[in-house]
Amino acid sequence: MPVINRIADFQNDMAAWRHDLHAHPEIAFEEERTADFVAKKLAEFGIEVHRGLGKTGVVGTLRNGEGPAIGLRADMDALPITEAGDVPYKSTVPGKMHACGHDGHTSMLLGAARYLAETKRFNGTVHFIFQPAEEGSGGARVMVEEGLFEKFPVKAVFGMHNWPGLPLGDFAIKPGPMMAGSDDMDIFITGKGGHGALPHLTVDPVVVGSEIVGALQTIASRMTHPVDSVVVSITNFHAGEGYGVIPETARLGGTVRTFKPEVQDAAEEAIRRISSSIAAAHGATAEVDYKRRYPPTLNHEAEVEIAAKIAAEISGEARVDRNPMPSMGAEDFSFMLNKVPGCYIWAGAGEETPNLHSAFYDFNDDLLPIGSTYLARLAESVLE
C-alpha cells in the first residue's frame, strides 16, 4: 500500500508543525516549548497526555480494545549549532538548530497519532513516546530509569530516523547492530614541568601523550578480531601555554565506538592499560576517566520482520534494504531496546539532503507522510 490517503490529506499540517518546531529549537532537557506543543496537539486529538518523565518527556496514550500495547518513539531535541541555511522557518534561537531532523520525527509521530485517534483501526493501546535529549545526554536512559516501561508497559517499541543519502521512500533495517555504542574518555597525564631548553630535567607529558595517541590505534589494528569493529579516536589534546615551557600536565580526550558489548569492555581495559604503562615507562602517571554513554543499538529479529514488512507495503520490497552497513553513529534508543523488544529503522530523506548535524541541514518535508504512514501501519499491524 502507498501512503495512507488520510495522512496525505494533512501533510501540510505536519509541515506547519515541523516548521514551527524548527524555528524554535531547544536542546537537551530544555524542550519546554516543544513539550507544550506536543502535549497540546495530543490533547486536541483526544489522546491521554502524561508529562514529566525525563524532565520534558511526553507520553500520549491511545486505547482501543483489550489487546496488547506498543510504543512508538520520536526524539524532540535540537543541537547547539548555528543554522547556516536560509529557509523561511529558520531557527530564531542563536546557536541552536534542528540539524538532525527531530522536528520532523516529532511531526511524523504527531501525524500518526492524529490518524490513529481518528480511525482506531487497532485493538489495544498505543503509547506515543516523545523523548527529550537524544543528542548526547541520554534522554532515553533517563526515561527508562524513571519507569517508562513500568508506567507504560509495551510488548514492543519502535523508533525511526530520517537518513540523508538514502533515496526518499527507501528504508533500511536489519536485525542486530544498526548503530554503534558510544563512549567518551579523558586521559589525564601528569609529568614534571620545566624549562623548554632543559628537557632532561623534566618528564614531558606531551611526549607521553603523543606515544599514547599512537599506541591506542593498535586496539583496532592488533587487539580486536578483524571481523569485529571498533573505532578509537583521540579528538583533542591539550597541554601547556608557553613556547619555552614544558607543561606539568596534559589531557587527551576522545571517543570509542563499538557494536558488541564485549568489544566495548575490551577497548576500555586496553585504554587503561596502554595509558598507564606508557606513562610509567616515562616516569609519569596517567589517569583515565572512561564514561559509558550509549550502548549499541541492537534490533530484535521478530520486530525487524514486522517493520520491514510494513516498509515494503509502503514502498515496495525492492526499496527496503534488509542488510545495510551499520553506522558508527550512536543513538540512545538503544536504552529502550535493551529494556523491551523492538527495532530502529532508517527512512530515506533523499540523496541531495545535507548530512545530519550539518549547519545547512533541513528535514525533507516529503518524508512526512511516508514516515507517518509507516508509524501508523505499525500500530495497526502489531495490534491487528
pLDDT by residue (tens digit) across 88-114? 999 999 999 999 999 999 999 999 999
Beta strands 171-172 and 342-348: pairing type? Answer: antiparallel
pLDDT band at 378 (very low <50, low <70, confident <90, very high): very high
Distances (CA, A) of 34 to 26, 42, 61, 80, 221: 7, 12, 18, 16, 45
Instruction: Taking residues 347-359, report their average pLDDT.
Output: 96
Cα 296–301–302 angle (5° rounding)?
Answer: 135
Compute the distance between CA of residue 68 and CA of residue 330 in angstroms, rounded to an integer.
Answer: 30
Q: What was the pLDDT predicted at 306?
A: 98
Q: What was the pLDDT predicted at 328?
A: 94
The hierarchical CATH code for the domain 5-179+296-382 is: 3.40.630.10
For the chain, first and last CA: distance in Å?
A: 16
Compute the distance between CA of residue 73 and CA of residue 307 in angstroms, rounded to an integer.
Answer: 14
Which residue intervals of the chain bear CATH 3.30.70.360?
181-294
Instruction: Taking residues 29-43, report their average pLDDT.
Output: 98
Nearest CA to 213 out of 279, 160, 167, 164 is that of: 279
pLDDT band at 1 (very low <50, low <70, confident <90, very high): low
The model carries a pTM of: 0.93
Mean of all residue pLDDT scores within the chain: 97
CB 163 within 8 A of CB 348: yes
Q: What was the pLDDT predicted at 151?
A: 98
Q: What was the pLDDT predicted at 254?
A: 98
Burial of 223 per CB tally in 10 Å (0-12, 13-18, 19+): middle
Q: What is the DSSP letter of 94?
A: T
Instruction: Taking residues 116-140, report their average pLDDT.
Output: 97
pLDDT band at 364 (very low <50, low <70, confident <90, very high): very high
Q: What was the pLDDT predicted at 272?
A: 98
345 φ/ψ angles, rounded to the nearest 5 degrees: -125, 150
List, for residues 202-223, the tens digit of each pLDDT value. 999 999 999 999 999 999 999 9
Which residue intervals of the chain bear CATH 3.40.630.10?
5-179+296-382
Three-state secondary-structure class, residue 22: helix
Cα 205–208–213 angle (5° rounding)?
Answer: 120
The hierarchical CATH code for the domain 181-294 is: 3.30.70.360
Q: What was the pLDDT predicted at 116?
A: 98
